[in-house]
């Protein structure tokens, strides 16, 4: 068994696509219409194009429990998911120059360094560097 796809709930797929590709550097892999203005929209890491896909899921727009959960995570300051990076400080510097808002600056915690940013689509995302 292996992970091939993870879903990240987003309120606006086009806005999410722009943020995740233009700001974070992911690459669009699939973009298929599903009807009702929704898409099967997946991305992959530029560094691992054969790795797991990220589905930009419009669930909060159509499934109230998803919106409630997403809002609760944001209100509590908890990240929805995490992305591993080689250097949290370098990513923090790069992203802050692109006006990405961080709720947690790079912080060392035992064997990792973490930072948390707002993806502008309803989620906190945690960056993790293994030390």
Per-residue pLDDT at 60: 87
Strand 81-84 vs strand 124-130: parallel, antiparallel, or unpaired? parallel
Q: What is the total count of domains within the chain?
A: 1
Q: Which residues of the chain have a pLDDT value below 70?
A: none
Give me the CATH number covering residue 53: 3.10.180.10
Task: Give me the domain span that covers residue 25.
Answer: 5-130
- Distance CA(57)–CA(71), nearest Å, equals 15
Q: What predicted TM-score, i.e. pTM, was given to this entire model?
A: 0.95
Q: What are the tokens at 35?
A: 């009807």
Per-residue pLDDT at 103: 98
Per-residue pLDDT at 116: 98
Per-residue pLDDT at 106: 98
* Dihedral sign of CA atoms 57, 58, 60, 63 in order: negative
Q: Is 90 strand, coil or helix?
A: helix
């Amino acid at each position: 068994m292996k992970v091939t796809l993870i879903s990240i709930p987003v309120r606006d797929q086009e806005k999410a696509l722009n943020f995740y590709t233009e700001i974070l550097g992911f690459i669009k892999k699939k973009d298929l219409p599903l009807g009702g203005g929704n898409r099967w929209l997946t991305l992959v890491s530029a560094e691992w194009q054969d790795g797991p896909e990220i589905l930009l899921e419009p669930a909060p727009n159509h499934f109230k429990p998803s919106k409630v959960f997403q809002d609760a995570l944001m209100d509590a300051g908890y990240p929805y998911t995490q992305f591993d990076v080689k250097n949290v400080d370098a990513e923090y510097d790069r992203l802050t120059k692109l006006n990405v808002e961080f709720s947690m600056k790079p912080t060392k915690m035992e064997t990792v360094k973490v930072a948390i940013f707002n993806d502008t689509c309803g989620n906190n995302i945690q960056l993790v560097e293994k030390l």
